[in-house]
Structure 1
Amino acid sequence: MYPKKELALSELEAAEDMNPGPWTDHSKNVAKAASLIAEHCEGLDSEKAFVCGLLHDIGRRTGIASVRHIIDGYNYAMSKGWDEAARICLTHSFPVKDIDADIGKKDITDRQYDFIRDYLNNLEYDDYDKLIILCDALADANGFCILEKRFIDTTRRYGIYPFSIERWNKTYEYKDYFEKMTGRSIYMLLPDIEKCIYL
């Protein structure tokens, strides 16, 4: 279950009031990218893709956080009964389905660590998990961007980690997957993506 688009937008606005920052514009762009790609994929619902993209970082409503925003988002969405959105809150940070492959600071308790680890270990990613992971890398606060720019941006901010290359390769794998589904380059579906080269 997931909320209607209008309610999801309202939730993001309320979250922005609680913790202002570029993460909300990023979330809107992830939502747009996911919806645009889903429109060209048989079996995917573009509204569900939009809502899941919009709420993937909703855990940031509680303040500045690293890995904690994943579990905060999951818990918040579950408290609303939005199990499908909650799942995306948890999976979107893991192109490599391993909690230790995340590049963020482990600002979580041991119990939360164990929950995320077990959740990932007992889950097979579906197309929405893969799509939001991909779109998380295709969108920043300014709009859409090519994967290489996004990867360099995060590397400049966080540095190189043991799983960095594996994360990039898995994201490219998802890009290839959706390009086969849509029959075209993903970049062709994202308006004005070329602007990211000149910003």
Structure 2
Amino acid sequence: MKYILDRNYAFELIEWAYSQNPGPWFKHSINVAKATENILIELNKNGYDFDVGLGYNAALLHDIGRYKGFTKSVIHSFDGYIYFKKIGFTGNAIVCVTHSFPCMNEHIEKAADWSLVPEHMKLKLVEILNENSTYDIYNKVITLCDALADAEGFTTLEKRLVSVGLRHGTTLHTSLHWKGFYKIKNELEGLLNKSIYKLLPGVEDSIYTNIDH
């Protein structure tokens, strides 16, 4: 799979997307990229050999589908996938989808506001997730970091999930997605031999701020 490796090019793309639809998603994306970078660097210190630049750029661009404007549910993931497929970066395209599904290809139809997603998008998203049912390290780290960063900086998983739930609502199946994040967190912390929060500078400050809703 082809990924964007040039950081300058990655910033050109996200800045273009932001010019199309300004919003807090831009700073959120930068913080997701920083968190991803920190985790991959630490994993490499533990003996692994991951491409930190690849992960940073993919994280930076995971929400590029927002360029089309505000969309509820996972429609922005579909838009991002189509965008990257058109310009030839399949790896980045897949990250646009996987970050919205922490349970991987399980419980796909339980995604928030799934009923709002057009049928042709549902079919394509299900196809993509089934074809990529085993997430690699980049997809796992970015999926988790998406839930550890907001526009203000780094935050705890619990606070971020509650914030999203207050803003977008929850369903009877929301806990399934929350469990997906914790499964990834536990796996990565096992590889790191430390809490993920030790790699997120200033994360403790988030406990003193209000929850966005």
Scaled to the shorter chain, the TM-score interval is over 0.9
SS of residue matched to 2:170: coil
Q: Deviations over 1:112-152 (max 9, x none)?
A: 21111122123221111111110000000000000010011
Match of 1:74 among 74, 81, 95: 81
Match of 1:52 among 50, 53, 58: 58
Matched, 1:122 2:140: no
- Aligned-residue Cα RMSD (Å) equals 1.3
SS of residue matched to 2:3: coil
Q: Distance in 2 between matches of 1:25 and 1:157?
A: 18
Which letter does structure 2 place at the counterpart of 1:104? D
Q: Which moved more, 1:106-115 or 1:182-191?
A: 106-115
SS of residue matched to 1:145: coil
2:142 counterpart residue number: 132
CA shift for structure 1 position 186: 0.5
1:20 counterpart residue number: 22
Unaligned runs of 5+ in 2: none
Q: Distance in 2 between matches of 1:106 and 1:136?
A: 23
Match of 2:32 among 30, 33, 41: 30
Q: Is the 8 A contact 1:134 1:175 kept in 2?
A: yes
Q: Identity over aligned residues, as a percent?
A: 39
Q: Distance in 1 between matches of 2:17 and 2:167?
A: 24
2:118 counterpart residue number: 109
Q: Deviations over 1:95-121 (max 9, x none)?
A: 122431211354443222111112212
Q: Deviations over 1:35-78 (max 9, x none)?
A: 10011221322111111110100000011112221111001111
Which letter does structure 2 place at the counterpart of 1:161? T
Unaligned runs of 5+ in 1: none
2:202 counterpart residue number: 192
Q: Which moved more, 1:189-198 or 1:40-49?
A: 40-49
Q: Is the 8 A contact 1:65 1:107 kept in 2?
A: no
Which letter does structure 2 place at the counterpart of 1:76? Y
Q: Distance in 1 between matches of 2:159 and 2:68?
A: 28
Q: Distance in 2 between matches of 1:55 and 1:115?
A: 20
Match of 2:91 among 69, 84, 101: 84
SS of residue matched to 1:88: helix
1:2 counterpart residue number: 3
Q: Distance in 2 between matches of 1:120 and 1:76?
A: 17
SS of residue matched to 1:141: coil
Q: Give TM-score, length-normalised by structure 1.
A: 0.95
Q: Give TM-score, length-normalised by structure 2.
A: 0.89
Residues 52, 106 of structure 1: alpha-carbon distance in 2 compared, 3 angstrom cutoff: farther
